[in-house]
A = this chain, B = another copy of it.
Amino acid sequence: MKRLNSKSGCAVEVTLSVMGGTWKPIVLFHLLHGTKRFSELARAIPNVTQRMLTLQLRELEEAGIVARTVYAEVPPRVDYALTDMGRSLEPVLTAMRDWGLGYSQTQGEEQERLQVQSVQARCVA
């Protein structure tokens, strides 16, 4: 996801540069329901690799959307939570989910036939 200059005036692109990508919205959705550990997120999103999850979380952290808390314990433990800025994304995520539900109903069967082998993300969003 290309990050665009905020001077561009295209606010939509600013949003996409922050929460765009294949996994970020899913991650954010899970965090919307509360703080999660790395392993919890990994289990909740079966199709993401450790590497991808790490990268995406780091980018979200950099953008100020997600807060990462490391506990000095053995075994190690890391918590991820939304920042206030992150929580402010709720309307966007909700609008996306709602639209996706409607679209699935009207075009779902068609899409399924065409994409049998597609990735399946078992998130409960």
Identify the A interface with B (CB < 8 A): 1-16, 18, 20, 22, 25-26, 29, 63-64, 85, 88-89, 91-104, 106-108, 111-112, 115, 118-125
Contacts and interface: CB of A to CB of B under 8 A. Distances in A.
A121 B8 contact: yes
B18 A103 contact: yes
A4 B120 contact: yes
B93 A12 contact: yes
B8 A120 contact: yes
Given A12-B26, A25-B16, A125-B9, A3 B115 contact: yes
Given A2-B22, A95-B92, A118-B5, A13 B103 contact: no
Contacts of A104: 6, 11, 14
Top 5 nearest A-B pairs (CB, nearest first) are A11-B100, A14-B100, A15-B100, A6-B108, A10-B123
